[in-house]
Amino acid sequence: MSDVEEQAAARSGPGGSLAHRVPDLGALELLLAVARLGSLGGAAREVGISQPAASSRIRSMERQLGVALVDRSPRGSRLTDAGALVTDWARRIVEAAEAFDAGAQALRDRRDSRLRVAASMTIAEYLLPGWLLALRAGRPDTAVSLLAGNSAAVAERLLAGEADLGFVEGVSVPAGLDSAVIARDRLIVVTAPGHAWARRRRPLEASELAATPLILREKGSGTRQVLDAALGGLARPLIELSSTTAVKAAVVSGAGPAVLSELAVGEELALRRLVRVPVEGVALARDLRAVWPTGHRPVGPARDLLSLTRG
């Protein structure tokens, strides 16, 4: 402790801060080593400091407490009666600190051994499995739980502390969240091969798309947000469904056209189960974002997963 700190400690008196009146853990551990080894030099070696530094620390502690703790002689160092009493108290403090450290380490281990991810449906179905497979290669002991829902539900989970990292696909970042763009996506109009639009020779215009009842994702989904923004909120629902898979199945059955992510319909387009309908004058591109509570940058497995999405 410096002279300035000692003076501050003296001024603080009985009502001052505990930090000024109670020796630090390093000093208490040194005192316990002196009591156990009967040698200041041996205690210094055990705690990893020089003997002069150990002597200085003991003297500082004696000044701080106002009592002599150690008698020094050519034959070694022994505790005074006050030193023996202080050592008993010090042992309890050090044991409590060790228990505290063990508990904190357990909390860190628990945090680092599990990852809670909340993801909007398109990302959960078509991107996240590959990212999680790569994460497992680097962190085989991390248990991952996935909460899939629309973008609004992802934001709710994060803000409630029920997820460590989220992924959304809407037009904006939900309030209370920070974000990073991890990919770009495009929505496309698709229909069954038997639908009249499948034989169109000219692109759809925004007005025609807005006037046609569509099979839509529910409000709150990122896909619906982008479409509503592109059409000025004029999208007309024929059916509203809560998953991309359900929307695709309805379109394939011939129920009507839909607007879906390119990520979601690649296989159906290749097999001609769905047909892409060209559109002009409609902005259907969107950013895919990782999100987390404002001011709480992802750490541990969440940070590693975020890095993988940018690889």
Q: Tens of pLDDT along the chain (311 residues)? A: 444 344 444 444 445 567 678 888 999 999 999 889 888 889 899 989 999 999 999 999 999 999 999 988 877 788 899 989 999 999 989 988 887 876 666 556 555 678 999 999 889 888 899 999 899 888 888 888 898 888 889 999 999 999 999 999 878 888 899 999 999 999 999 999 999 999 988 999 999 999 999 999 988 888 888 898 888 888 889 999 988 889 999 999 999 999 999 988 999 999 999 999 999 988 888 889 999 999 999 988 999 999 999 76
Beta-carbon contacts of 250 under 8 Å, excluding residues fewer than 6 positions away, are 215, 239, 241, 256, 258
Q: What is the CATH number of domain 115-306?
A: 3.40.190.290
pLDDT the model gives residue 220 = 82
Q: Which pLDDT belongs to residue 4?
A: 37
Q: Tell me how far apart the alpha carbons of residues 130 and 308 are, in angstroms, rounded to a whole number.
A: 10
Give the per-residue pLDDT at 20: 74
The pLDDT assigned to 167 comes to: 95
Domain boundaries, the chain: 3-110, 115-306
- Note the pLDDT of residue 221: 85
Name residue 277's beta-bridge partners.
Answer: 189
Task: Name the region of 182 (left: φ>0; alpha: ψ -120 to 50; beta: rest).
Answer: alpha
CATH number at 3-110: 1.10.10.10
Question: In the prediction, which pLDDT does 274 show?
Answer: 96
Give, for 239, the enclosing helix (H) or strand (E): strand 236-241
pLDDT at residue 11, as a whole number:
41
pLDDT at 7: 44
Per-residue model confidence (pLDDT) at position 98: 84
Distant-in-sequence, close-in-space partners of 290: CB < 8 Å, separation ≥ 6: 165, 166, 167, 179, 180, 182, 298, 306, 309
User: What is the amino acid identity at position 280?
Assistant: E
pTM over 0.75: no
Instruction: Provide the token pair at 297.
Output: 């940058």
Contact 228, 303 (CB under 8 A): no
